[in-house]
Amino acid sequence: VPKVSQDHLDARRQQILAGAQRCFAQHGYTGATVARLEQEIGLSRGAIFNYFPSKQELFLALAIEVNRRYGRLLLEGGVEAAIRAMAAEDPEWLGVVFEVHGKLRHDPDFVRRLDEASDAARPTLQDWFEAKQANGTFRDDVSGRDLGRFVTMVLNGLALRVVGEEETDVDATLKLLHDAVAPRQ
Amino acid sequence: VPKVSQDHLDARRQQILAGAQRCFAQHGYTGATVARLEQEIGLSRGAIFNYFPSKQELFLALAIEVNRRYGRLLLEGGVEAAIRAMAAEDPEWLGVVFEVHGKLRHDPDFVRRLDEASDAARPTLQDWFEAKQANGTFRDDVSGRDLGRFVTMVLNGLALRVVGEEETDVDATLKLLHDAVAPRQ
Amino acid sequence: VPKVSQDHLDARRQQILAGAQRCFAQHGYTGATVARLEQEIGLSRGAIFNYFPSKQELFLALAIEVNRRYGRLLLEGGVEAAIRAMAAEDPEWLGVVFEVHGKLRHDPDFVRRLDEASDAARPTLQDWFEAKQANGTFRDDVSGRDLGRFVTMVLNGLALRVVGEEETDVDATLKLLHDAVAPRQ
Amino acid sequence: VPKVSQDHLDARRQQILAGAQRCFAQHGYTGATVARLEQEIGLSRGAIFNYFPSKQELFLALAIEVNRRYGRLLLEGGVEAAIRAMAAEDPEWLGVVFEVHGKLRHDPDFVRRLDEASDAARPTLQDWFEAKQANGTFRDDVSGRDLGRFVTMVLNGLALRVVGEEETDVDATLKLLHDAVAPRQ
DNA sequence: ACTGGCGGGACGTCCCGTTGAT
DNA sequence: ATCAACGGGACGTCCCGCCAGT
């Protein structure tokens, strides 16, 4: 029989993830020492280590959440919603995204673990764009693949702006992006 | 009087920067331990620290070079040249760019040092775009500021693709970008 | 009044000692972490530490049992019985003996505690051998003290073999030992 | 070109081994924390780690030396010399031997590494005893294998006494051992 | 100019024992 | 009586930079 309720455990887990997110966002993966994580989370090593076997695993949990979040963003709401959501995103949270990106390039093991966790249910972006082309939503003189890539580039470029806390006029961005991908009259 | 020629000193400095670039690109800032830097550069601690007072300072020198390089890219060659240059960029080298980005967000001191070094001679992007609008090169129903930001977003998004070694059709990208920023007929 | 029977308490205590013995034998004192002890014993920290105030104290209880067991071995059954018993000993159990030995040399406090517990009823080996000499069982041109020491050496040497799971011909060993200690014709 | 002479390096290496030996002997493997090793050796972590990649490797170096030393003892000097040497052995040094023994039982990787290092040139004890039997030095109504094992047991038993700093009459021991293994008249 | 031995500090891991809940 | 969450400390590893030596 567990000593504390499942609710308590879930709450603790969320507390750890939330604090870790802030800590990683502020200091980066390396800069987020266990001591700082303890402080930001408000729990001791013993507690944190009880929920996640290592700092890397804790970070991985955040990375998976990140991946899921942004994978669904465009597919569920469409281009405009994705852009607006991204522009309104919390810079601290987005910071973690790029921190993930950093590890992605240098830590092959991390890449593998992340892929394993996020492979499930990943409908391709390309399919989505091709459907919208057939729809008449997007121009079709450019392949759906390239349309998808272009929109992704703008989204990522926007993300970088948000992370850097640089101001961006979302409506202007949308207007330009629309003229790039909408059917030529 | 120095014992060796200035040329020798410069060559050594370049050797160190080149090796460090490869090392930072491959392992990231933290992963690039001094031992690994020694190996990649082919010189010992003493030699490296003779030219750069610390690992951070060595990285800063690279960061300044990076900043200069990409600052000039667009202004000198225009949008198409910038996109093509970025697409052809060495992923390893671009890796360092985002590594710089990583430190930029977490190390205020680093930001200050980098700004000091790169502030000189930075004509604003905005001016450049406004000139091109007056030119008739770009549409003028969107502010030059927003045009510049949009192009930058695409460039950065493209850079992320290159770093991730993801394939990109440059011509399609250029076509879409052109339709976004060119004057409407 | 206790909630559970004394039998239950004793059984639990024995369960803990038995599991701990296996765990110490397999992993050594340091290697036997509390987590491993929990697993091997089948009870949780709370239960274990309810019966023994610390890991050290649990080990001490085993050490006392070990000491008693081997102290009586020779005195009760004679040399041959002792040798045969030692050769048939469980290597895991003997492993704990030498683990005890290890701590004996490094932990003065442990030595004191162990001595306190085992001082009671320890008739000297020397007396036993001298009685057997008077008996005519052992040669008397060597002091009983030295006879006792020699037999102990062989016993300990044999124990080391058993622990190392090295094969030993008990009969040959007994023959050689007999010729060493028996009266010269 | 090395910065310091080879002599210096060798001296340092010996300094580290000697200090480590004392430290392992006094505190045991686990008790010999790196801090204590630093203190006993008189050098810093950095220095020690420069000569041995890890604490385990440092210990292994000592273990190999131990193995070589005792392997040759009997084969080179005969039984009496071996017994006398063992009796005169430094208890601290012998302590390390049993520490090695401790790790031997629990650390399979350590066993492998040690075997690799000491496999070279290990003439079997058995051969040596059989030669001495043919010689007439030892009785031949017991196999050379068992003779060897018996002598080893006594040697190991003696070693345990030395480690425990228990007094031993070497001459008596030799007399008894002689009567065990010498040819019956 | 260049080497590398070395100091010393900080990190993530892991572990023991306490505590409060069941 | 038994549990598992949790605190907090100590360990081995590893790393950066200094400087003595060539």
Q: How many residues does chain B have?
A: 185
Q: Give the orientation angle of helix C55-87 with respect to helix C144-163, to 10 degrees.
A: 100
Give residue D1's pLDDT.
58
Chains C–D, number of C-beta pairs less than 8 Å apart: 124
Kindly tell me if the per-residue pLDDT of D157 is higher than 60: yes
In tens, the pLDDT along C89-145 reads 988 888 888 888 888 788 888 888 888 776 654 567 889 999 999 999 999 999 999
Distance from CA of C106 to the nearest CA of D (A): 5
CA distance C106 to A120: 55
State whether B172 and A105 contact (CB < 8 Å). no
In tens, the pLDDT along C131-154 reads 999 999 999 999 999 999 999 999
CB D173 within 8 A of CB D79: no
Query: Average pLDDT, stretch A102-128?
Result: 79
Query: Average pLDDT, stretch C152-157?
Result: 95
Q: Would an 8 Å CB–CB cutoff place A162 in contact with chain B?
A: no
Q: Going residue by residue through chain B, which has 185 residues, state the pLDDT in tens, using 9 for 90 and above.
A: 456 788 888 999 999 999 999 999 999 999 999 999 999 999 999 999 999 999 999 999 998 888 888 878 888 899 999 999 999 998 888 888 888 888 878 888 888 888 877 665 456 788 999 999 999 999 999 999 999 999 999 999 999 999 888 999 999 999 999 999 999 87
Distance from CA of D119 to the nearest CA of C (A): 18
Structure tokens at D36: 């204590």
CA distance C79 to C174: 9
Which nucleotide's C1' sits nearest to the alpha carbon of B43?
Answer: E2
Q: Would an 8 Å CB–CB cutoff place D30 in contact with chain C?
A: yes
CA distance A37 to A30: 11
In tens, the pLDDT along D85-111 reads 999 998 888 888 888 888 888 888 888
Chain D 121-140 residues in 7 Å CB range of strand F: none
Give residue B109's pLDDT.
85
Cβ contacts (< 8 Å) between B93 and chain A: which residues? none
For the entire predicted model, the pTM comes to 0.89
CA distance A180 to A84: 17
Which own/partner contact pairs does A25-33 have at CB distance under 8 Å and 24+ positions apart? Answer: A25/A91, A25/A92, A25/A93, A25/A95, A25/A96, A25/A99, A26/A92, A26/A95, A26/B106, A27/B106, A28/A99, A28/A102, A28/B102, A28/B103, A28/B105, A28/B106, A29/A59, A29/A99, A29/A102, A29/A103, A29/B30, A30/B29, A30/B30, A31/B106
Q: Would an 8 Å CB–CB cutoff place B111 in contact with chain A?
A: no
Question: What phi and psi values does residue A120 have, to the nearest 5 degrees?
Answer: -60, 135
> What mean pLDDT is reported for chain C?
89
Q: Helices (DSSP H) in B32-168: which residue ranges? A: 34-41, 45-51, 55-87, 91-106, 108-118, 125-135, 144-163
Looking at chain D, the whole-number percentage of residues with pLDDT higher than 70 is 95
Kindly tell me if the per-residue pLDDT of A121 is higher than 80: no
Q: Would an 8 Å CB–CB cutoff place C84 in contact with chain D?
A: no
Kindly tell me if the per-residue pLDDT of A12 is higher than 70: yes
Give residue A73's pLDDT.
85
Lowest mean pLDDT among A134-143, B10-19, C94-103, D75-84: C94-103
Kindly tell me if the per-residue pLDDT of D119 is higher than 70: no
User: Which residues in chain D (112-141) have CB-CB distances under 8 A to chain C?
Assistant: none
